[in-house]
Amino acid sequence: MNQLRDPDVIIAAWLEDGPDDLPAATRRSIVVGMRAVSRRRPGPLPGGIQMPSILRLAVAAALVVALGAITLTVIAPRPAQVGITGPSESASPTAASPTPRLIDPSRTPSPLVGTASTFVHPFTYRLPADAGLVVDGGDPTWYQFRVPIPGTEHWADSIIVRRITGGRADPCSETSPPKPLSGGPDAVIRYLEHIPQLIVTEKPATKISGLTASTATFTPHMKEAACPDLWLWAEEGSFTQNSSWDAIGKITVVDVGGDHVIFMTNSPTVDVSWFATAQEFIDSVKFE
């Protein structure tokens, strides 16, 4: 007789198995290492670091720009925000992401009509009725609309709206230099077509908010050791961390104010009807 076991119980037991103590030798190594480490003093620029004059100039210019941006942010009137709070203080000296702290709205339904007011190019939208979409939060370069799986903390289908500044010279490398994508929305689709790990099909042109948009259907495939993840965009984040290999996705690209704005539609459950629902959302978008 064969009785199927609960995978979650097995996973939990496996996860618990392993060392739970830091070996004394490692702690001694830390103590010894501390003596060799010179501590940084408080402040954005620790003393003792000699920078070339050109770098000092660049840092000073960056500070001036940053201060100007902060001043504008503080004095400018702010439109109402959709489901997000302001940026949180970063706790890490090495934190690279300026991602604002997000409210998890999965417990409350989102209004069907809304405004992505904090997006770099604000837009209004209408969520398709009965689609179960909620606004999963957003920041100036990234808005997420997802369908929560009832009774879980997980998500099914999603639409992600991003402002991208380019692709990557090597999409298989997280440290790859960026690749500029100039030449309208089509440049983004052409870029995707040249990535060996993507199958790109169906490229009908469309319009969003009266602007010409390019679209494509694509599937990541050929996952291998040399390319465990795809970093499609110049911005942080691996595409395949949020979408499975071999899952069908759709992309719609429109240029707004000189920026590429992309709508990524994913269906981990390969629910074809989802794409029609997502298209209804995309068609409702109006840039302000």
Partner 1 sequence: MQRALVDQAKQGDPEAFDELARQVGDRCMAIAFRILRDADRAQDAVQQAFLLAWRELARLRDPERFEVWLHRLLVNACYEEARQRRRWISRVAPIPDDGPVMADPVVSVDDRDALERAFQRLTPEQRAAFVLHHHAGFPLDVTAEIVGVPVGTVKSRIHAATRGLRAAILADEQIGTEVRTA
Of residues 101 and 207, the one with the C-beta less far from partner 1: 101
**How many CA atoms does the CB half-sphere of 23 hold within 13 Å?**
4
287 near partner 1, rule: CB under 8 A:
no
Please give the backbone phi and psi of residue 50, each rounded to the nearest 5 degrees, phi first: -95, 115
Length of the chain: 288
Residue 157 C-alpha from the chain's centroid: 15
8 near partner 1, rule: CB under 8 A:
yes
26 near partner 1, rule: CB under 8 A:
yes
45 near partner 1, rule: CB under 8 A:
no
12 near partner 1, rule: CB under 8 A:
yes
9 near partner 1, rule: CB under 8 A:
yes
CB 24 to partner 1: min, Å: 10
**Residues between 156 and 185 that touch partner 1 (CB under 8 A):** 174
- Return d(Cα 238, Cα 165) in angstroms, integer: 15
150 near partner 1, rule: CB under 8 A:
no
Tokens of 279: 């298209």
Q: Fill in the amino acid letter for 48.
A: G
Residues 6+ apart with CB under 8 A from 48: 38
Are residues 99 and 118 in contact, defined by beta-carbon separation less than 8 angstroms?
Answer: no
73 near partner 1, rule: CB under 8 A:
no
State the burial class of residue 230 (Cβ atoms within 10 Å of its Cβ: 0-12, 13-18, 19+). buried
40 near partner 1, rule: CB under 8 A:
yes
CB 143 to partner 1: min, Å: 10
User: Where along the sequence are the contacts to partner 1 (CB under 8 A)?
Assistant: 2, 4-5, 7-23, 26-27, 29-31, 33-35, 37-43, 88-89, 91-97, 99, 101-102, 104, 136-137, 139, 142, 144, 146, 153-155, 174, 225, 228-229, 237-238, 240-242, 244, 268
